[in-house]
Chain A
Amino acid sequence: MSGALRTVAPPDAAPLRRPVGVRVGWLIAVVVVLVLVVMASVAFGTRQVGFDEIVGALFGTDSGDPLGRAAVTKRVPRTVLALLIGAALSMAGTTMQAVTRNPLAEPGILGVSAGASLAVAMGIVFLGLSDPYEYIVVAVLGAAIASLLVYSVGSLGRGGATPLKLALAGAAMAAAFTSLLSAILLPRVDLISTFLFWQVGGVGGATWDRIAAVAPFLAIGALICFANAKGMNTLALGDDLAAGLGANVGRVRLVSAIGAIVLCGAATAIAGPIAFVGLVVPHVFRLLIGSDHHWLLPFAALGGAALLVAADVLGRVIARPEEIEVGIITAVIGAPVLIWVVRHQKLREL
Chain B
Amino acid sequence: MSVGTIVAGRRRRQRNRMLVSTGLGGAVIVVFVVSLMVGNTFYGLGDVARVVLGEEVPGASFTVGELRLPRATLGVLTGLAFGIAGVTFQTMLRNPLASPDVIGISSGASAAAVIGIITLGLNDTAVSMMALGGALLTALGMYLLASRGGFAGGRLVLIGIGFAAVLQSVVAYTLSRAAQWDLQAAMHWLTGSLNGATWKSVSPLAVVCVVFVTLLLVLGRDLSVLRLGDDSSAALGLHVHRTRLLLLVAAVVLVAFATASAGPIAFVAFMSGPIAARLVGPGASLIVPAGLVGALLVLTADLVGQNAFDHRYPVGVITGIMGAPYLVGLLVLLNRSGGAL
Q: Which residue of A lies closest to B326 (CB)?
A: A172
Tell which of B16-24, B62-70, B180-188, B283-291 binds the partner. Answer: B180-188
| 26 A-B interface contacts by CB (under 8 A) | A2-B340, A5-B152, A8-B155, A109-B165, A157-B341, A159-B340, A165-B331, A168-B97, A171-B102, A171-B161, A173-B324, A175-B267, A175-B323, A179-B191, A179-B317, A179-B318, A182-B316, A187-B311, A192-B187, A200-B169, A328-B173, A332-B169, A338-B158, A338-B165, A342-B155, A343-B159
**Interface residue? B237 (CB, 8 A):** no
Residue ranges of A at the interface with B (Cβ–Cβ < 8 Å)? 1-2, 4-5, 8, 104, 108-109, 153, 156-159, 162-165, 167-169, 171-173, 175-176, 178-180, 182-183, 186-187, 189, 192-193, 196-197, 199-200, 275-276, 322, 324-325, 327-328, 331-332, 334-336, 338-339, 342-343, 347
B154 pairs with A164, CB closer than 8 A = yes
Contacts of B154 in A (CB 8 A): 1-2, 4-5, 164, 347
What distance in Å separates the Cβ of B175 from its nearest Cβ neighbour in chain A?
6
A104 pairs with B158, CB closer than 8 A = yes
**Interface residue? B338 (CB, 8 A):** yes
A1 pairs with B340, CB closer than 8 A = yes
Chain B interfacial residues counted at CB < 8 A: 58
B341 pairs with A1, CB closer than 8 A = yes
**Interface residue? B252 (CB, 8 A):** no
**Interface residue? B9 (CB, 8 A):** no
What distance in Å separates the Cβ of A205 from its nearest Cβ neighbour in chain B?
13
Q: How far is the CA of A169 from the CA of B334 in the complex (A)?
A: 14
**Interface residue? B133 (CB, 8 A):** no
B323 pairs with A156, CB closer than 8 A = no
What distance in Å separates the Cβ of A200 from its nearest Cβ neighbour in chain B?
5
B321 pairs with A187, CB closer than 8 A = no
Give the secondary structure class of A's interface.
Answer: helix
Which of B102, B187, B267, B328 has a CB less than 8 Å from the CB of A182?
B187
Contacts of B145 in A (CB 8 A): 339, 343
Contacts of B175 in A (CB 8 A): 196
> When each residue 139-178 of chain B gets 1 if its CB lies under 8 Å from chain A and 0 otherwise, what string results?
0000001001110111101110111111001101101110
Given contacts A331-B169, A335-B165, A343-B155, contact A175 B186 (CB under 8 A): no
